[in-house]
Amino acid sequence: MRYQRCRMLFGEENFEKLQNAKILILGVGGVGSYALDCLYRSGVSDITILDYDSYDETNRNRQIGSDAVGASKIETLAQLYPGIHTIEQQMTMLWVESFDFDPYDIIIDAADTTKVKIEVAKKCYKKLIMSVGSAKRWDTSKIEVASIWKTHGDALARKIRNELKKSKFNKNFMVIFSPEEDKCQEKGSFVGVTGAFGLTICSEVIKRIIQ
């Protein structure tokens, strides 16, 4: 039985909650693709993914589905995870403004664009779990989960905090981050960390649904 061990762990009532939860994943790269894989394998049956990119050769070190170089991420993952819902759409400020987030129980922000991440936070902070900087790191033991206001040692999280303060936004939302010092100057990345970010997000989603 496919989900037998998940049912044993979570219990029937909680497993039913997982199956009924509606999850939206914004960005399915090095972090988002592992969050998708974990949620799918754990019995969450209503998952929507949003992305606009195609796989590049440089994605192959960390992204699920990336052996399909040149192919659409959305289309490739829809084949790998039958039954998921897909939105092939570029995340812009206008899109965030017009999109209806209400049907979803939890929104996972694994996107890259800072301004868009800030607008997503303003619009759906109550349902949000946000990933910030996972690149340039190699130590998974440094990964933390905290309110955006308690993040530390991460440049992207700091920038988001500062911009939110400027706009007088003071609400809480959950962030997955790492205060590990950058190990390189460019966009170096390691699947051990980016994947662990995605798996940590999955764990936080499951806890939120069950509790």
Check the CA dihedral 153-131-198-29 and report its sign: negative
* pTM listed for this prediction: 0.96
Q: Are 195 and 30 contacting, i.e. CB atoms less than 8 angstroms apart? A: yes
Dihedral (Cα; 188, 192, 195, 199), 10-degree rounding: -150
Question: Hey, how many other C-beta atoms are within 10 angstroms of the C-beta on 119?
Answer: 18
Q: Flag whether pLDDT at 186 surpasses 90.
A: no
Give the pLDDT confidence of 41-80 residue by residue, as tens digits.
999 999 999 999 999 999 999 999 999 999 999 999 999 9
Ordered domains of the chain (ranges, CATH): 4-210 (3.40.50.720)
